[in-house]
Structure formats: C-alpha cells, structure tokens
Amino acid sequence: MRMSCGHARELFTTIVLVAVLAGPGRAQLISLKTVPVAAGDQFFLFPSHNQAMGGVSIALDDHVLDPFINPAKGGQIRQAQVFVAPVYYNVSNNAGSAGALSAGALFSGRFFGGGLVALQQVKRGDAFFGPVPLWDVSVLPPNALSERSATNKYGYLSFGTRLPGELTIGASAFVADLNAMDGVEHLYAMASNIDQTGDLQDIRIGLTKTFAGNRTVDAVALFHRFDMRHDVTYVDWVVVDSMNWIWEPRTRVETNLDKTDTWGMQVGYVQPIGRHGWRLGGTLTGNWKSHPKIPNYEIMNIPRDPGNSTAFDIGVGVAKVLGPTTFGIDIVYEPGTSDTWAEAEAAIGTVSGDTIPPGGRTIENEFSFSNAFVNVGIAREVGPAVLQLGLGLRAYDFELDQWDHVEETARRQSEQWIEWVPSWGARVQFGDLELRYLGRVTTGTGRPGTAWDGAVAERALDFGTANDILLAPSGPLTLQDVTVLTHQVSLSVPLR
C-alpha cells in the first residue's frame, strides 16, 4: 500500500504505539497500534495444541500453552514432559526474518511447574541508506547495516501448587536479553547503522478455582517491563562546494530510549453447556501502561516524551469438544485510550507571541481505540492425526485528537484497517511422542519506509547547527504491503 505524502506524514508524525508482543502469551498483553506495521512473530516461542485453530482460547483449553500464559494452569498438566519447539518466520519483500529454538519441560503433581530457554537469530530487513551519491557507494561507512543479524536470549520459569478446594496458585518469570526487535530498522529509514540493546521482564501470579459442575474461574496479575536503547548512526551528506558539486559526509549518532511499563489483570470464566460437549467462556482484561520514553523515530521527525495508555479486552468464546471434532470461536472487543505529548527542551515561542517554558507541552495527542477481533477454528481427528484450520480477523479503529501549542492548531484524524490471519496445522501421535506443526500467515500489514527525492542540503556555516538544515526525511512516506509467514514444529516427549 502506498499513501500520499501528506496523509502519511500526518499518520507517522503522531506516534507508533506498537506494544511489544512479549511474554508467555498475548492474551494478557494488549497491543495498541496506530499504523498497520507488520509485527513478526518474534515472541512466538512456546508450544501449543490449538494455536493452529486461529488462536481460539477463551472456551477451549490448551494443555500445553495455557501453563505459560497463567502459571496456575500448570495444575492441568496431564503428564510431565520435555519439549523442543523450533520456529521460523519470514516477512515478504526481504523485510526481515527470524528463527528460534526453544527447549523446556513441564512437570505435574501436587507441586508443578516448568521452564524454557530459547535462542533466537533476528535478521534485519533491507532498509534505505538515505541520501548518498549512488555513483560512489564506497564512501559508505564500512559497517553500514552490515550486521545483518542479532541474537536474543530468553528464559522462563514457573512454579505452583494445588491447594484444598480445587484451588491452584502459581507464579512465573519470563526474561529476555534483546539485541534486536523485529522491524525497528524500518522506523529509522535514513540510518546507516542501528545498534539495539535492552531487556524485558514479565512477572505473573495466577490462580484457578474449579466449582461444582466443572465451572472454572481463573485470574492473572502481571507486571511487564520493556527497556530498549537504540544507538542510531546517520551519514548526512552536504554540498561543500556547490560550484563543483563536491560532497562531504557528516556522521552523527543519536541515542533513543524505548521504555514501557505495563500492569495487567485478567479474569476468565468457563462452564459446560448441556450434555453435547459445548462450553461457554468469557474474559475481562485490563492493561495500564506507562511510557517514560518513546523513541524519536527518524521517519516521524518529531520528538515525543512521556505518555500513558489504558486498554481493555472484553471477550466471549464458545467451543464444542465432542468425538473427533473440536470447534471454537472467540469474539473480543478492545477499547482503549492513549495520551502522549512532547515537551519543550528550551523556551519556545508560539505563533501568537506567547512562550512555552522548558518542560512545557508543545504537542499533545489523545488516541481513542475501538478494536475488535474474531478467531474461529476447527480440528478433526483422522486416524492417528488431528488436522487443524483457523482464521483470525483483527479490525483496528482509532481516532486521534492532536493539539500543536506552538502553531496553535488542532486536528482530528480517524484510521481503520483489517488484518487477516489464516492458520493451519496438525498433531500426530507416535507412541509416547507427540509431533505438532503450525503454520500461519498475516496479511493486511506493511513495513514503513522513506523514498529519497534526490535533494541535498547546503553546508551549514556552523557544524554545531548543521542538523537544523541538513536533509530531513522529506521524501514521500510509504507503507509497503508485506505478509508474515510463520512455521513452528514442536515435539513433546513424556517423562516416565
């Protein structure tokens, strides 16, 4: 998809609130988006029985994945097991890819728990270098985007126990040492090199309670901290002699911080309906996010400072498990709000002659989200195998009210788009071994970029002020259609 320069600039100069899809499960971490940026399955590290069924989960149990989402659900583990789960995804048009190998174990009994470690290689997508004389690419820095891949490390540990009265409790910790986040290179479209370092921590406490009639209530409380640093190198080319058309490179490094703290809570309820295998479930999720620092992405070309977000999920699910066929459907409504702003580093005048003091707000953004998701899936036993199909539909809808206190203007903008996620898979039992395969593709998303129009900035009189007049990303902003194709194979072996 290609957007007009003016429309795209308005969209990108707000904020890209892409909450990191991190942690053991995405059910409790709500993602807020203001652009349809393709998010690769970087954190899809955990094995699953039912993810190939469109991710249906509200009224359908997943005895492999559920213990990683709610540590108290480790009490439903039927048998201690070890597992491996290699996964690979690729973003089309050479926009990035990643591969990971996870290995871990789940233990059952009065005291239960599990652990997982994973190594991941993230490969950067092709990104534009920015304005360089194409006839002399030798002047590029020797390491310009040459570090094509980076390694991330992940670890997970959980522990829980069964208590009298059909009550289980558990706690878990998920940590990651991150040297790359998928797609970040496309948000600094004019950079010659990007070094990423950071980490995340995800702490959860969960409980489940079973009542008469096989009615179940579960709850999870979590704290999630994401902390990244982007050291971005730019090569700014200026004309030092306009008569002879002589160029001169100027290298600069900018450091951007990306920090978000999330507090979350989810409550779920499931009960059987009748005697024909039907189940009805519901969930209520809340996330409260603090954004101490938001990166100043090159493609946006404005500084942004703190922000706060609130988001909720209200979901209803129906499933039927009877005989060789399993069916499920989830319907989720997701309202949310987000407030972000930019603060003046020094006193700045407004168009009417007033002055905004240092620390005062120069721009304020208020987002209102009204998203909806539908997941549907079916599975059928065929001999020793279970074949699975699913489809996810994600409808994003937000409205922005923005105030520019420097220009003393206000505007309102609305955006909507839809993402489709078909999935497929199979489970096969070989004696005690269970082999699973999951495939899925995400469409309706893209990767941003900046097209250079060939313009060159004139040399500044003072090097200290060169950044004020060197070329900004004034070329047309684009959003190139891409698809994300993911494959996961997992193998479980029981411990006897």
Task: Place 21 in a pLDDT band, splitting at 50, 70 and 90.
Answer: very low
Taking the whole predicted model, whether its pTM rises above 0.85 is answered as no
Instruction: Answer whether residue 70 shows pLDDT above 80.
Output: yes
DSSP string over 459-489:
PPSSGGGGGGTSPPS-SPEEEEEEEEEEEEE
The pLDDT of 325-339, averaged and rounded, is 94
DSSP string over 352-402:
TS-EEPTT-EEEEEEEEEEEEEEEEEEEEEETTEEEEEEEEEEEEEEEEEE
Whether residue 222 contacts residue 204, with contact meaning beta carbons closer than 8 Å, is answered with: yes
- pLDDT score of 130: 44
Task: Place 467 in a pLDDT band, splitting at 50, 70 and 90.
Answer: very low
Q: Where are the beta strands (DSSP E) in 164-242?
A: 167-178, 193-211, 215-241
> Within 13 A of 115's CA, how many CA atoms are on the CB side?
3
Nearest Cα residue to 304 out of 232, 351, 364:
364
Task: Place 377 in a pLDDT band, splitting at 50, 70 and 90.
Answer: very high
Nearest Cα residue to 166 out of 119, 135, 207:
207
- pLDDT score of 479: 63
Q: Residues with Cβ < 8 Å from 279, sequence gap 6 or more?
A: 59, 60, 270, 271, 272, 273, 318, 319, 320, 321
- pLDDT score of 69: 92
Instruction: Answer whether residue 156 shows pLDDT above 50.
Output: yes
**Token reading at 68:** 């990683």
357-373 pLDDT, tens digit per residue, is 988 888 888 889 999 99
Nearest Cα residue to 84 out of 69, 70, 113, 64:
64
* Phi, psi for residue 486 in degrees, rounded to 5: -125, 140
The pLDDT of 198-204, averaged and rounded, is 95
d(Cα 250, Cα 463) in Å, to the nearest integer? Answer: 9
Q: Where are the alpha helices (DSSP H) in 62-180?
A: 66-69
d(Cα 197, Cα 32) in Å, to the nearest integer? Answer: 23
Taking phi over 0 as left and psi of -120 to 50 as alpha, with beta for the rest, 107 belongs to beta
Percentage of residues in the chain having pLDDT higher than 90: 46
The pLDDT of 254-272, averaged and rounded, is 92
Least reliable range by pLDDT among 254-258, 351-355, 408-412, 451-455: 451-455
Whether residue 358 contacts residue 347, with contact meaning beta carbons closer than 8 Å, is answered with: yes
Mean residue pLDDT across the chain: 81
**Residue matched to tokens 């957007």:** 3
Least reliable range by pLDDT among 399-403, 411-415, 466-470: 466-470
Instruction: Answer whether residue 101 shows pLDDT above 80.
Output: yes
